[in-house]
Structure 1
């Protein structure tokens, strides 16, 4: 079998590799000695050097050949104005990695990490980690002082962390802890939601750019924003505080002052100066919930603060600085708000770099059970009174909670309130079936009272798509939206047929309750299974 060639890539060490005359052989020169190890045959050395050190590179090339005749040395001029300039060094090394003809089928590559500036070493490490330089790392060390003529020792490090079980386990443990933190310790089971949280984790640990969280009211945007801050703070991504404000509560002249601060005497009643929430978030995170409720002036000022880190407090002549990360929340369709002229398009573009939509609770039936357990544990923690379900009661509540009849219009707010009510009324700290049945009836009455025609049409729009929905006559739109709404609430198509045609079916001798709604839906290209599959 033909031996694979070993190719070493290294930077000339201006200090460590220097030396002239016979005395140079009494020094430990890592570039030369990397080719002297008896158990490491280097077939080719790709020697990178700055133009000013061409003479040193030529001497090193000659010395390598003298100690290792089988080693071919190729020199590459590495031109940078400042070897400590990260951008220049990385750019040159990146260009080298793109232009070099790596032959992974026939050659193994080692990246000599001992020489060069720290900037050189960091850049080479990053390019090796990203596989732009598909090489293992070689770290060489000098021999004891009394044996300077010996080559010393070396270690080869493979950056494929999958080969290091303990390291892999440690990273997996940190990843699991981060995921648990973002989910408040809830063992969620919904695959799509877990994938969403995993993406958020990667962003939170890699970037302090704005994050936009959207989704219906009560979906957990505020809690998630705080958890993102806690995760970033634990990894020193941010060092300041978490500042939270609901923009729907900011109105009139007070909105600018609350966000950006004011100077003393800026307006009537401004007795003392105020720093503002953006300044308070300096070094930390500000969560602007319901950002779509901001006025035009506040949007313009916020955009400037995001782009420059500077803004002008009310009544001030001098701008102040604040280095903050923005997490924005909205239950509104901000794209529609832009079309309607209610939200700045340039601000949306600025905060929309990382956009995550939190699903409604009804879209995550698999996660309702662990959230029920979480809410019950939270009630126990806050009240100091331990409460639990009996088995039959828990099964009955979960059966209802995961059915289409449970719309969870208020999402986690509804669930929290429901658990709180049952836990408070539980006789002897045990939630029984009677308590559950009373709560189910209460939820159904509340949801029925809150159901609006606009919500029915909103669901129909998602079901059909914008184009097909726009082609419906107003008459068909209203009627079809109601039929679809009934289908959503029923377990079977036959049940929907009985509810939709309760009067006329009595006049028929035989009934196929599923046939009439099925044919009606088919006129619009819809099926009962499509309706049940879409849970939002």
Structure 2
């Protein structure tokens, strides 16, 4: 591989005089060609037009010390070498004009010469890969005119101490996003690990999908705090549940209104989008927004401008959006209830938060977390005795525990038991009372609601004659399969949920084929259900 240097002609450091005494001085651009262990095939030498005399002498001296090096002068036009915008623009144009061949050449960007502004610009262009190489810093040394040089690789992962520090910072951020809870579910841990990277590196919209109580709101707050800690946001977190917005109130709440926009609008209202300027906007249950609000939201995301309700002058707001929903927005698009273009805009980073039952191995550390939260609020420590803890965990993991509201149910349950704990100890009697309370709360709608939903699903895809031939067992099973298929983006995804236990025992799995075979028994296909 050939070595190619890109650097600026230094009007001061490269100027050693016009006579022979210049050979007694260290000149960075010339000196870089004096190292036998660092042969240079080509030197792209950038220069200002007023330095043409110095350029001619420097090129001549380069040819003398390294005749095998091809020197390519590149003029740049800059009225003020201390004007950051002008210097960056000129160097950026030079970088774009070059045809870099990274397969044949190793590129080194010399940041020794030029103004500090030029050096910073070269660094930024290298970091952004407009200049595809490593930095090189030359300096005078005991070797005299030859001096020394150091190569700086901007790939920080190559430096062990820096890489380990970055890894620790990422690990700390992941722990923060999980509220310090040592979760055990691999899928959830993988999701949070990627979300940590996206939260720090991207300002694009994030979509959090998952059932009610899965932790979407809490996670959005954690993302905001993490970005705030890193100095990426200067504004505030604005949260709104879109299910509470209806009609004119929705337009006014989100986008604001002008005075007199509607009956009762006696004063101007800023609106939530403007309140989130320079900050983060969390729209929970975004699927509940009306189509008109969706259209205005799309414009606000894309153009950062929107029209207040009743106004005729657009306003601006720079915000990052996190959207939450428990609905299948793709199904809502098919039904005409959600705009496809808005979904495409917010679907760049989508994360499916699992229910509590889907990550039941995380139940125990979450119980400990809820106890710690209660302890901080109540200012006294609360814990289970051994038998009570075992009894509660046995129930919590059993099929009787529905956890319909997911972590909200768990939070309420632990709060009730901790409040009743005399002397800070949760006893077997307290656990027994809490189990009865939960069972009564869940029992009222469990059977009827699930049966009604299942029958409605079957009626959509099977005619009455087919339904009459199905046993109750088949009706219950098929309705659940249809429900899971509708919430999945592919047969493979549906199969992973439906055959989650048996697939682990197979050396080779084909989840899609198993789903297809099952549906064909009833004359159905996956495409029909979407």
Same topology, TM > 0.5: yes
Bigger drift between 246-255 and 264-273 goes to 264-273
Q: Distance in 2 between matches of 1:44 and 1:62?
A: 16
- Decide which moves more: 52-61 or 437-446: 52-61
**Residue in structure 2 matching 1:200, options 179, 195, 201:** 195
Task: State the alpha-carbon separation in 1 of the partners of residues 355 and 75 from structure 2.
Answer: 55
Give the counterpart of 1:73 among 62, 70, 73: 70
Does residue 482 in structure 1 map to residue 484 in structure 2?
A: no
Quote the offset at 1:271 in angstroms.
1.9
Task: State how 1:382-393 maps to structure 2 within 5 Å.
Answer: 382-393=377-388
Question: Structure 1 residues 163, 310: CA separation in 2 closer, same or farther (over 3 Å shift)?
Answer: closer
Counterparts of 1:223 and 1:358, CA distance in 2: 12
Give 1:363 deviation, angstroms. 0.9
Normalised by the length of structure 2, the TM-score is 0.77
Residue of structure 2 equivalent to 1:7: 3
Q: Residue 413 of structure 2 aligns with which residue?
A: 418
Cα distance in structure 1, aligned partners of 2:266 and 2:75: 62
**Aligned residue for 1:180?**
175
Partner of 2:18: 21
Query: In structure 1, what is the equivalent of residue 38 of structure 2?
Result: 41
User: What residue is the counterpart of 1:138 in the other structure?
Assistant: 136
Query: What is the CA–CA distance in structure 1 between the aligned matches of 2:283 and 2:293, rounded to whole Å?
Result: 12
Give me the whole-angstrom Cα distance separating, in 1, the residues matched to 2:313 and 2:330.
Answer: 34
1:306 and 2:306 are equivalent in the alignment:
no
> What SS does the corresponding residue of 1:263 show, helix, strand or coil?
coil
Q: 2-side partners of 1:142 and 1:484: how far apart?
A: 79
Looking at structure 2, the residues matched to 162 and 47 of structure 1 have their Cα atoms a distance apart, in angstroms, of 28
TM-superposition CA deviations, 1:115-137 (whole Å, max 9, x none): 46232332123329xxx84x543
Task: Select between 239-248 and 427-436 the one with higher mean Cα deviation.
Answer: 427-436
Contact 1:457/1:478 (<8 A) preserved: no
Moved more, 450-459 or 379-388: 450-459
Instruction: Determine the C-alpha separation between the residues in 1 that align with 2:393 and 2:162.
Output: 40
Aligned to 1:126: 128
SS at match of 1:270: coil
**Distance (Å, rounded) in 2 between the aligned partners of 1:287 and 1:423:** 31
Q: Measured at CA, do residues 376 and 68 of structure 1 come closer, stay the same or move farther in structure 2, by a change above 3 Å?
A: same
Residue segments in structure 2 that go unaligned for 5+ positions in a row: 80-84, 482-514, 521-530
Secondary structure at 2:403's aligned position in 1? coil
Q: Distance in 2 between matches of 1:269 and 1:295?
A: 22
Deviation at 1:217, TM superposition (A): 0.4
Query: CA–CA distance in 2 between the matches of 1:459 and 1:126?
Result: 54
Deviations 1:478-521 (A, max 9, x none): 6425358999xxxxxxxxxxxxxxxxxxxxxxxxxxxxxxxxx9
Residue 343 (structure 2) pairs with residue 348 (structure 1): yes
What is the distance in 1 between the residues matched to 2:453 and 2:12? 71
- 3-state secondary structure, aligned to 1:417: helix
User: In 2, are the aligned partners of 1:211 and 1:352 still within 8 Å (CA)?
Assistant: yes
Contact 2:208–2:325 (Cα < 8 Å) also in 1: yes
Q: CA deviation at 1:183?
A: 1.0
User: Residue 470 and residue 378 in structure 1: after superposition, are their counterparts in 2 closer, same or farther (change >3 A)?
Assistant: same
1:412 CA displacement: 0.5
CA shift in 2, pair 1:477/1:370, >3 Å: farther
Closer, same or farther in 2 for the Cα pair 1:424/1:416, shift >3 Å? Answer: same
Structure 1 residues 525 and 211, CA gap change in structure 2 (3 angstroms) = closer
Residue of structure 2 in register with 1:378 after alignment = 373
Equivalent of 1:63 in 41, 61, 64:
61
- Return the alpha-carbon distance in structure 2 between the equivalents of residues 32 and 140 of structure 1: 11
TM score, norm. by length of structure 1:
0.76
Partner Cα separation in structure 2 for residue 152 and residue 480 of structure 1: 84
Distance change (3 Å), C-alpha of 1:330 and 1:384:
same
Residue 264 of structure 1: which of 259, 264, 273 is its match? 259
User: Pairwise mapping of residues 136-535 of structure 1 onto structure 2 (< 5 A)?
Assistant: 136-142=134-140, 150-451=145-446, 455=450, 473-474=466-467, 476=470, 479-483=473-477, 524=518
Q: SS where residue 372 of structure 2 aligns?
A: helix
Aligned Cα root-mean-square deviation (Å):
3.8
Q: Distance in 2 between matches of 1:445 and 1:281?
A: 42
- Pick closer, same or farther for the CA change 1:452–1:244 going to 2, 3 Å: farther
* d(CA) in 2 for partners of 1:161, 1:461: 57
| 1:360 Cα deviation from its structure 2 partner | 0.8
CA shift in 2, pair 1:453/1:479, >3 Å:
farther
Contact 1:16 1:29 in 2 (8 A): no
8 A Cα contact 1:460 1:484, kept in partner: no
Q: Which runs of 5+ in 1 are unaligned?
A: 488-520, 527-536
- Give distance in 2, aligned partners of 1:165 and 1:387: 43
Shift of 1:190: 1.4
Aligned residue number for residue 103 of structure 2: 101
The CA deviation string for residues 176-232 of structure 1, in whole angstroms up to 9 with x for no partner, is 221122111111121111111111111111111111111100011111111111111
* Inter-CA distance 220–31: structure 2 relative to 1 (3 Å threshold): same
What is the CA distance between 1:261 and its match in structure 2? 1.2
